[in-house]
Amino acid sequence: MGIYVVLQPGYFRCLNISRENMTMIAPRVYVTPQMPATMRDSLLYYLKQAQQRIIGFFGSQQANPIIIAGHDLWAIRYFGAVQARTGMTHLAPTGAYIVLAPEGINADVLAHELCHAELMARVGWWNRTFQVPAWFDEGLAMLLDNRFPNAETEWQAITQNGQYAPPLAELTTNRSFFSNPHHLYLNYLTARHEVEQWYSVHRQRGLQLLCKCLADGHSFHQCYKRPHH
């Protein structure tokens, strides 16, 4: 945990959010004091919408992350990461902390980040960190994120129907998934394509069973390939 705090100063600040100069506008929702009332209202409105998406997709919401949002980029750089621009989530043994920039205050970014938190709540921090490949975590979140309405068409065009898609085996760790900014969008599209194919067969019940299988300590490969009907 000590190493984590050194590497992730933003996470440590999230842990001590009640001591920071932030305003709580709802249980577990903090904003910068300068955030205008209209922006605060939007945040709570979009948060409700995003939570409904999670419930519709997973069947219920088990995660209860802390949400931190700023009226400018200061909050996401201070509580999140220097390079973050829209939204990001610290997924830690102590829980999930979603940090948003103004651009991230919408239902799509919130649903995307809530999905990461939900998966961790269902499978456990350890299993999510050491069993769930990055492509599944990101692909699942992409299914709840409507910012890319033509994702499948784009994937087909860019990869020539999958011929030139990056192999999933190369997208298993966060490092490999995010390392090359030039390939990142294609990585997201590929992850989304794979998980959408899987979800179209297994649906919500299959997702619930997959989460339970992982929570029970089985390998991701076992749980993903298992028939979930």
What is the distance between the alpha carbons of residues 8 and 41, in angstroms, rounded to a whole number? 30
Give the strand order in the sheet containing 29-31: 23-26, 29-31, 66-69, 95-100, 87-92
Q: Taking Cα atoms as reference points, which of 33, 99, 102, 37 lies closest to residue 68?
A: 99
What is the distance between the alpha carbons of residues 189 and 31, in angstroms, rounded to a whole number? 32
pTM of the model: 0.95
Query: What percent of the chain is predicted at pLDDT more than 70?
Result: 96
**pLDDT reported for residue 93:** 94
**pLDDT reported for residue 228:** 55
1 pLDDT higher than 70 = no
**pLDDT reported for residue 49:** 98
Residues 117, 91 contacting (CB under 8 angstroms): yes
Q: What is the mean pLDDT of residues 123-152?
A: 97
206 pLDDT higher than 70 = yes
| φ/ψ of residue 106, rounded to 5 | -155, 165
Q: Taking Cα atoms as reference points, which of 60, 67, 65 lies closest to residue 45?
A: 67
**pLDDT reported for residue 226:** 74
Where do the domains of the chain lie, and which CATH numbers do they carry?
A: 2-122 (3.40.30), 131-225 (no CATH)
Assign residue 32 a region (left: φ > 0; alpha: ψ between -120 and 50; beta: otherwise): beta
pLDDT tens for each residue of 149-174: 999 999 999 999 999 999 999 999 99
Q: Mean pLDDT lowest for which of 1-5, 25-29, 217-221?
A: 1-5
Residues 207, 58 contacting (CB under 8 angstroms): yes
